[in-house]
């Protein structure tokens, strides 16, 4: 188990390899379908959202306000990342993103951007919304809520020991590609 | 129908926070079988912890609380309009309580209703029966697994799949292969052979109401279910697509008649966070018995 603690420098990110189990501590911003499309179309981020050397989490959490008016994260697992494939490489490049947390992996363009600009794909366990919510120690802010609605808004989370596995690294390796090829061979034998 | 609304809120809470017994057993057995020290085993351990935490805290197992699908078997003269109103009130309340995510989006404007109510949400299927009981089942089906559902029209030349059970086997296994990583495996598939495009998908979803350990009374379909389960688990896709032994936890297949010109095979995928629950209500609409 490797501990990755903010700041997320290119050097730390480059040292990670496919198959590494990592615990992340620091700030992450959520961003999913609406945010990616918005950025792709040239939309501007609010000044508080600094993605430089940052991590974006593909997640649409369940968050409610408690009696004191404070945000409470009820559930926060990853959403399927491949939907962001048309946009992700551009965002990695433009914002010098260092990490993406999601599930299901991404495609060739993202893998190439990870290699070129020094970023990795962290796979969180899909559906594990409680275990992951427990690692969110604080909601530091929420942005673009009115425009996108709660699941699609940008949430700024302080996370501690957030468990993930590196499935695409900055050296051109993708576990998803490898499993896809192996399982295709196994399937061909059985059809 | 105040009682009914409260009962339905409880049904939603329980469905969202507690995994059904049959699914839990299958997950535990997958955890036992997975090779120790692998990332597949780690994933299943996190899944197992998550199931316990969600139940203990009475919070959603998965943040995507999905499409809200009610299946209601009711006696003759049962007031379906009142039921629908109670179900909508219950959905709204469950959303305020955080049992459900604000999950209903206007497809034209992109605006989230914030209440989970709107055209097409929740979904209610009514069916009359001769018993005086009202039987309500609920499935919360997340978008990740819904997106990997598939419908094939046979013959399907790419796989050399013809209009027979062998052809069905090929396309079903292809759907499992294509879903890898994306549907939060290990999952369960519901399949319908035949029907039209709409009824085929609908019946494939309805198969997800079956308990994982039941057996299909139709021998050909039972054989196909066992075969697909065994074969899928030999592909090495594993939990979350990390590689490993358990790709599927269950396979449930039904058949509908078709018109001679059509031969559809419809596959609905359900993730490991299989949220299904149900109850029987007595004549006064009090909960008499839980179903799963």
Domains observed in chain A: 2-190 (3.20.130.10)
Q: Is the peptide bond before A157 cis (omega within 30 degrees of 0)?
A: no
Which residues of A are less than 8 Å from B234 in CB distance?
Answer: 186, 190
* Interface test with chain B among A126, A179, A186, by most B beta carbons within 10 Å: A126
pLDDT of residue A159: 98
Summary mean pLDDT of chain A: 96
Spatial CA neighbour of B177 closest among A179, A143, A11:
A179
Distance set, CA B48 to CA A15, A29, B55 (Å): 30, 26, 11
Chain B within 8 Å of A139 (Cβ-Cβ)?
no
pTM of the model: 0.94
Chain B within 8 Å of A2 (Cβ-Cβ)?
no
Domains observed in chain B: 2-15+61-142+275-290 (3.30.1330), 144-270 (no CATH)
> Which range (A109-123, B243-257, B276-290) has the least confidence?
B276-290
pLDDT of residue B2: 57
Average pLDDT over residues A6-28: 98
- Cβ of B98 and A165 within 8 Å? no
* ipTM of the complex model: 0.92
d(CA A70, CA B108): 32
Which residues of A are less than 8 Å from B232 in CB distance?
Answer: none
| Residue B133 pLDDT level (bands cut at 50, 70, 90) | very high
Angle at A137 between CA A43 and CA B143, to 5 degrees: 55
Stated length of chain A: 191
Chain B within 8 Å of A62 (Cβ-Cβ)?
yes
pLDDT of residue B1: 53
For residue B175, the distance in angstroms to the closest alpha carbon of chain A comes to 11
Question: Is residue A40 flagged as an active site residue?
Answer: no
pLDDT of residue B144: 93
Nearest CA in chain A to B234: A186
Per-residue pLDDT tens digits for B148-194: 999 999 999 999 999 999 999 999 999 999 999 888 999 999 999 99
| % of chain B surpassing 90 pLDDT | 96
pLDDT of residue B284: 83
Instruction: Give the DSSP letter of residue B207.
Output: G
CA-CA-CA-CA torsion sign (A104, A107, A112, A117): negative
Q: Are A99 and A13 within 8 A, CB to CB?
A: yes
pLDDT of residue B181: 87
Average pLDDT over residues A122-142: 96
| Residue A68 pLDDT level (bands cut at 50, 70, 90) | very high
Which among A60, A103, A191 is the nearest to B184, CB-wise? Answer: A103
């Amino acid at each position: 188990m490797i501990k990755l603690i903010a700041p997320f420098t290119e050097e730390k990110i480059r040292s990670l390899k496919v198959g590494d189990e990592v615990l992340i501590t620091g700030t992450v911003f959520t961003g999913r379908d609406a945010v990616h499309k918005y950025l792709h179309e040239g939309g501007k981020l609010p000044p508080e959202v600094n993605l430089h050397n940052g991590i974006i989490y593909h997640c649409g959490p369940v968050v409610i306000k408690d009696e004191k008016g404070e945000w409470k994260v009820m559930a926060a697992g990853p959403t399927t990342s491949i939907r962001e494939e048309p946009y992700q490489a551009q965002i990695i490049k433009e914002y010098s993103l260092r990490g993406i947390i999601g599930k299901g992996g991404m495609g060739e363009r993202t893998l190439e951007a990870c290699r070129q600009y020094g970023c990795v794909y962290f796979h969180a366990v899909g559906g594990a919304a409680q275990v992951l919510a427990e690692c969110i120690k604080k909601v530091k802010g929420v942005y673009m809520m009115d425009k996108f609605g709660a699941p699609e808004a940008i949430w700024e989370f302080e996370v501690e020991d957030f468990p993930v596995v590196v499935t695409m690294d900055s050296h051109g390796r993708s576990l998803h590609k490898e499993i896809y090829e192996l399982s295709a061979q196994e399937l061909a034998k059985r059809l | 129908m105040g009682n009914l609304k409260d009962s339905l809120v409880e049904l939603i809470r329980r469905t969202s926070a507690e995994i059904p017994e049959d699914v839990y057993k299958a997950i535990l057995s997958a955890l036992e079988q997975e090779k120790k020290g692998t990332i597949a085993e780690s994933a299943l351990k996190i899944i197992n912890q998550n199931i316990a935490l969600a139940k203990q805290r009475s919070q959603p197992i998965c943040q995507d609380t999905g499409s809200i699908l009610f299946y209601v078997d009711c006696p003759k003269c049962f007031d379906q309009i009142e039921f629908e109103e109670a179900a909508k009130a219950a959905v709204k309340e469950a959303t305020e309580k955080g049992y459900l995510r604000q999950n209903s989006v206007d497809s034209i404007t992109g605006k989230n209703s914030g209440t989970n109510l709107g055209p097409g949400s929740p979904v209610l299927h009514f069916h009359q029966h001769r018993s005086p009981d009202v039987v309500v089942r609920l499935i919360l089906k997340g978008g990740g697994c819904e997106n990997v559902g598939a419908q094939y029209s046979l013959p399907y030349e790419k796989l050399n799949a013809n209009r027979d059970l062998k052809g069905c086997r090929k396309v079903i296994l292809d759907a499992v292969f294509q879903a890898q990583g994306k549907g939060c495996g290990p999952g369960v598939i519901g399949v319908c052979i035949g029907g039209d495009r709409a009824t085929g998908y609908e019946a494939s979803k309805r198969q997800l109401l079956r308990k994982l350990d039941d057996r299909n009374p139709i021998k050909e379909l039972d054989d196909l279910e066992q075969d697909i389960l065994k074969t899928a688990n030999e592909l090495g896709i594993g939990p979350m697509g990390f590689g490993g032994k358990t790709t599927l936890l269950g396979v449930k297949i039904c058949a509908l008649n078709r018109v001679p010109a059509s031969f559809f095979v419809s596959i609905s995928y359900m993730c490991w966070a299989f949220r299904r629950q149900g109850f029987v209500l007595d004549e006064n609409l009090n909960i008499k018995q839980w179903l799963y």
